[in-house]
């Protein structure tokens, strides 16, 4: 197709037809300011921050204005600058400007724009409506006083996740982004994925802050506080300390956890290896015994809640395996406690997760064993970063040496890839293939299941049998896949679903990546690359070959899917659909 | 109960007619309001499920447009004209007094289901400003102190 010639602030660029002025301007190295725009998620031209002069009578919104041949764009005229300032001043006039105490200070896109554009006082001090905070969800806090109505959260919740727990309510000055019928978020079918938090440009949506609970536990001399970081945390935590998106900081992370005062540094990756042993066994059992197929993975708590609300008839298809976080917690409070001779009631298990739904999962009554929670506190990557800053640890200068503790922390390459979409599938295939072929296969990489497409499928012949698998990432993609399965259009033995697009690397608890950075970097791909590098760096890459996992089964659990394994490592689900 | 069932059946027939048209939500909601008189939460949830959209979409539209009622309408609809002439002649004070006497803000229905209080645009009786209508009855050249007596006539 013929390229289109555009002149932007005197710079000539050639772009493909259909390109927006916003995208074309980046080729001329001009970063037009935006607020409501978010690449691939929201382009509605609503906030008018990105207005430019395209030679027409009125200024145009660059984020939705397609280029045409011979177009002359001016992005920095007095009229454009004045219009943008007016927009910012109006947004600021009813924004709660308590930046000092805001969780998003320094990562706030509104704050950054106010600084960049020199809007440092509010011209309009008009009427304001004060809204109560919605703090009833264990995962997400809603603060309408900070909301600028950009609708990025609405777009991700409706269009990407297929949930629609929040939307614009009322009209004009009274508009707020809220659940229907004046409900609290915890009373809706919100799945706690926290994608709304990840895309919020300001502090209107944020995680429940549980760092004080962790400090209290660490400072309690009667408690033994152990920590387990999830795979995806180690390829994102560095971003909070100025490192490029996707930097691997496994060593520094373990060093920081030790310095924070955790008594033991264990690893959710060990739990991931156990998960594979249990889940692969369960899958092969279902295939052999005619159990419910396809079997769906169950690591993602957002996905689980999505099924419970929307497809309760598919609950029998969910693997009964707990998530790696819960398995790790359960093993710490049973096997580890016994080996170390510690009363499990004295142990506080802290999980560091890329996820805000894990806060909900940790509190699920189904996860309790003998009236005891397996995971006591679940914090996000962002909360861990805040604790590290609070403790004044110079993270970037910490040594790159892993310092995990013994017994329940060693992992194979199959574990870190859990954090990327397709990773659980690949890890399970590595183990299932060895079992079905009845030998140790040399090839361990299954590239067909990797990638970022919403739905991916592959067929493998293992032990003379065909195994059809599929992967869905985002609950929106999962919904489309389930409909195809229910209509009989598609048919699989095993399906991996992660609630978040891209999997855990892009979870709702991960460091915020600004709209500006997302124009150039896809955090899903950059962080996943870090996890696959972690996998390649390991000598052992199949979960069932993990020596500490073998020891756990030999000395404590017995058979995978056996009686004790079921008691500790498996769970059940709840029908949450509205009848 | 069966009366309620019939209403839902009637709504479903309307949904079946409209559901494959683009932009079906608004006409479906209008039909639902005709059938039920207003849009209770259960009806909005029913529409959401039938059209396979989130309830927040239905509620968002229901709260955006003044034509949709989220509460049942009272036996008597009180319309207080807020047009320019009435406003200049003190209709805001009349509305304030009505809110005080009825104990509900504009846009709402009294708990006994008798009155729905609405602030409306010009009723076309500017010569009588300020004007209110109670169903088909028109009251003009009002002062706030006349409000209690007028309301008591409908009790």
Strand segments (E) across A145-220: 167-169, 176-178, 205-207
Longest dimension (CA), chain B: 54
Three-class DSSP category at A547: helix
DSSP A383-438: HHHHHHHHTT--GGGS-----PPSSS----TTTGGGGSTTHHHHHHHHHHHHHHHT
Contact, B35 vs B11, CB < 8 A?
Answer: yes
Phi, psi for A122 (deg, rounded to 5): -90, 120
A242: left (phi over 0), alpha (psi -120 to 50) or beta: left
Compute the distance between CA of residue B41 and CA of residue B25 in angstroms, rounded to an integer: 15
CA distance B85 to chain A (A): 25
Residues of A in contact with B41 (CB under 8 A): 181
Q: Which residues of A are catalytic?
A: 279, 282, 299, 319, 358, 361, 366, 504
Contact, A454 vs A480, CB < 8 A?
Answer: yes
CA distance B98 to chain A (A): 23
Lowest-confidence region among A291-305, A353-367, B117-131 = B117-131
CATH of the structural domain B76-152, one choice from 3.30.300.30, 3.20.20.70, 3.40.50.150, 3.40.30.10: 3.40.30.10
As given in the structure block, the two tokens for residue A399 are: 């040594």
Burial class of A397 by CB neighbour count within 10 A (0 to 12, 13 to 18, 19+): exposed
As given in the structure block, the two tokens for residue A47 are: 């906030």
CB contact under 8 A, A164 and B45: no
Compute the distance between CA of residue B103 and CA of residue B112 in angstroms, rounded to an integer: 11
Domain edges within chain B: 2-64, 76-152
Q: What is the pLDDT of residues A88-104, one digit of tens each?
A: 999 999 999 999 999 99
What is the DSSP pairing of strand A167-169 with strand A224-229? unpaired
Strand segments (E) across chain B: 76-81, 115-120, 132-134, 137-139
Q: Does A578 touch chain B (CB under 8 A)?
A: yes
Q: What is the pLDDT of residues A416-468, one digit of tens each?
A: 999 999 999 999 999 999 999 999 999 999 999 999 999 999 999 998 989 99
Q: Is a pLDDT exceeding 50 seen at residue B83? A: yes
Q: What is the pLDDT of residues B88-123, one digit of tens each?
A: 999 999 999 999 999 999 989 999 999 999 999 899
Residue whose entry in the numeric block shows the structure tokens 């069966």: B2
The predicted complex's ipTM stands at 0.92
CB contact under 8 A, B63 and A179: no
Q: What is the pLDDT of residues A377-403, one digit of tens each?
A: 999 999 999 999 999 999 999 999 999
CB contact under 8 A, B54 and A169: no
Q: What percent of chain B has pLDDT over 90?
A: 86
Domains of chain A as residue ranges with CATH: 4-76 (3.10.20.740), 119-207 (3.30.70.20), 213-569 (3.40.50.1780)
Residues of B in contact with A165 (CB under 8 A): 54, 56
Q: What is the pLDDT of residues A234-292, one digit of tens each?
A: 999 999 999 999 999 999 999 999 999 999 999 999 999 999 999 999 999 999 999 99
Residue whose entry in the numeric block shows the structure tokens 């009435």: B86
Q: Using CA coordinates, name the residue in chain A closest to B41.
A: A181
Compute the distance between CA of residue B14 and CA of residue B25 in angstroms, rounded to an integer: 11
Strand partners, A146: none
Q: Is a pLDDT exceeding 50 seen at residue B1? A: no
Which of B53, B55, B63 lies at the smallest CB-CB distance from A171?
B63
Compute the distance between CA of residue B100 and CA of residue B112 in angstroms, rounded to an integer: 16
């Amino acid at each position: 197709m013929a390229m289109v010639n555009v002149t932007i602030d005197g710079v000539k660029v050639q772009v493909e037809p259909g390109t927006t002025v916003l995208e074309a301007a980046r080729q001329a190295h001009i970063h037009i300011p935006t607020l409501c725009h978010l690449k691939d998620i929201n382009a509605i031209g609503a906030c008018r921050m990105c207005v430019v002069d395209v030679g027409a009578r009125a200024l145009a919104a660059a984020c939705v204005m397609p280029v045409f041949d011979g177009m002359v764009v001016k992005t920095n005229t007095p009229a454009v600058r004045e219009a943008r300032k007016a927009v910012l001043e109006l947004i600021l006039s009813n924004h709660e400007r308590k930046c000092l105490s805001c969780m998003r200070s320094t990562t706030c896109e509104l704050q950054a724009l106010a600084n960049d554009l020199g809007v440092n006082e509010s011209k309009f001090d008009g009427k304001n409506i004060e809204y109560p905070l919605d703090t009833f969800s264990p995962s997400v806090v809603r603060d309408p006083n900070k909301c600028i109505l950009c609708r990025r959260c609405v777009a991700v919740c409706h269009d990407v996740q297929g949930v629609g727990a929040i939307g614009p309510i009322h009209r004009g000055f009274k508009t707020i982004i809220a659940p229907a019928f004046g409900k609290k978020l915890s009373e809706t079918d919100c799945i706690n994925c926290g994608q709304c938090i990840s895309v919020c440009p300001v502090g209107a949506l944020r995680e429940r802050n549980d760092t004080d609970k962790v400090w209290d536990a660490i400072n309690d001399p009667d408690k033994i506080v152990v920590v387990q970081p999830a795979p995806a945390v180690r390829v994102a935590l560095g971003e909070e300390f100025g490192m490029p998106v996707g930097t691997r900081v496994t060593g520094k992370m373990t060093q920081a956890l030790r310095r924070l005062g955790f008594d033991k540094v264990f690893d959710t990756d060990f739990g991931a290896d156990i998960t594979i042993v249990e889940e692969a066994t369960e899958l092969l059992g279902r295939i052999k015994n005619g159990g419910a197929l396809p079997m769906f993975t169950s690591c993602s708590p957002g996905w689980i809640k999505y099924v419970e609300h929307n497809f309760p008839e598919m609950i029998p298809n969910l693997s009964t395996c707990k998530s790696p976080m819960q398995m790790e917690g359960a093993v710490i409070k049973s096997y580890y406690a016994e080996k170390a001779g510690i009363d499990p009631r004295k142990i506080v298990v802290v999980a560091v997760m890329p996820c805000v739904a894990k806060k909900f999962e940790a509190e699920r009554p189904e996860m309790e064993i003998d009236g005891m929670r397996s995971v006591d506190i679940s914090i996000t990557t962002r909360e861990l970063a805040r604790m590290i800053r609070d403790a004044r640890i110079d993270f970037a200068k910490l040594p790159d040496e892993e310092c995990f503790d013994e017994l329940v922390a060693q992992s194979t390459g199959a574990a870190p890839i859990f954090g990327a979409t397709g990773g659980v599938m690949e890890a399970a295939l590595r183990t299932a293939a060895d079992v079905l072929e009845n030998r140790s296969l040399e090839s361990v990489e299954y590239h067909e299941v990797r990638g970022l497409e919403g739905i991916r499928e592959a067929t493998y012949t293992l032990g003379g049998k065909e195994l059809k698998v599929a992967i869905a990432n985002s609950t929106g993609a999962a919904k489309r896949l389930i409909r195809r399965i229910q209509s009989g259009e598609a048919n699989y033995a095993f399906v991996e679903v992660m609630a978040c697009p891209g999997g855990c690397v892009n979870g709702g608890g991960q460091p915020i990546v600004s709209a500006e950075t997302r124009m150039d970097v896809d955090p899903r791909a950059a962080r996943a690359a870090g996890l696959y590098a972690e996998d390649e760096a390991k000598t052992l890459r199949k979960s069932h070959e993990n020596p500490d996992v073998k020891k756990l089964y030999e000395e404590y659990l017995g058979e995978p899917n056996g009686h004790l394994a079921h008691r500790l490592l498996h769970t059940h689900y709840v029908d949450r659909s509205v009848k | 109960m069966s009366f309620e069932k019939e209403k839902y059946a009637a709504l479903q027939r309307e949904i079946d007619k409209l559901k494959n048209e683009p932009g079906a939500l608004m006409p479906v909601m209008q039909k639902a309001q005709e059938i039920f008189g207003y849009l209770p939460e259960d009806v909005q949830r029913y529409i959401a499920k039938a059209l396979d959209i989130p309830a927040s979409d239905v509620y968002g539209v229901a709260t955006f447009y003044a034509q949709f009622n989220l509460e049942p309408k009272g036996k008597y609809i009180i319309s207080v004209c807020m047009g320019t002439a009435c406003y200049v002649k003190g209709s805001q004070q009349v509305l304030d007094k009505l809110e005080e006497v009825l104990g509900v803000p504009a846009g709402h229905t009294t708990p006994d289901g008798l009155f729905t209080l609405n602030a409306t645009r010009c009723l076309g009786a500017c010569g009588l400003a300020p004007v209110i209508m109670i169903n088909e009855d028109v009251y003009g050249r009002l002062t706030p102190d006349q409000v209690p007596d007028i309301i008591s006539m409908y009790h």
